Structure 1
Amino acid sequence: MILWFTIAQIAVAVIAGVLCVALGLAGRRPGDVSVGSLALVQVLLIAQIVVAIIAPFAGNAPTGSLLEFWTYLISAAVLPIAGIVWAFVDRGRWSVVVMGVLALAVAVMLYRMHVIWTIQAVA
């Protein structure tokens, strides 16, 4: 993984998460800002999938379990899609809070993916 890109992804996911939770608790329904912030998180995760495919060929191989890394990455890539679908099905304020929690979960998963890729050694 690329450090600056990982930091940028985590920052965007945390900002999107806090924004969605705040909007939801303020009583706002899903809108362009909340859905758009989660869509941005999704676009960055798709870019991360591309980077994870190309990085080993460029000499940036993972130090941890490749299976565990890809499980985290695919799971993280599904979460924003699920949150956006939920927002379209349930147009209530709590769906915005759920989108925020999902974005924060993606941030944690991105940190864990970074640890698996760079720090964790296979035993």
Structure 2
Amino acid sequence: MIVTYAQKERINLLTSKETVKLIIDALEDKKAENIQIIDISEVSSVADYFIITNGTNKSQVQALADNVGEKLDREGIHAKQVEGYSNANWILLDYTDIVIHVFDRESRGFYDLERIWRDGKLISADDFS
């Protein structure tokens, strides 16, 4: 029997859309505000989706990031990179095809990623139900 790299690394075979649904559920579990999903696959090779949300304070921002990480870890999906966790004004979770941006309210308004990535397709969270 040949063991593939995916089996060896226990990479889950969920589609990007199924993974986005798990992420949305994890964010909603911790009361994330204004979850936005942007399909950037047609305008960038960086990722397929950006998920942008915010919490009300540092503790909630960290809890949102933690919950996403825990839910995806249970599925065998691990972040390639996590940035900004200790400051918690903008935590970036890089899952290769999906990049999650968890902000505090002030930083989200300041960086305004939705405006920067407006060429992407805004998708409703309901589309992933």
Q: What is the TM-score with the length of structure 1 in the denominator?
A: 0.36
Higher helix share: 1
Higher relative contact order (CA 8 A, sep 6+): 1
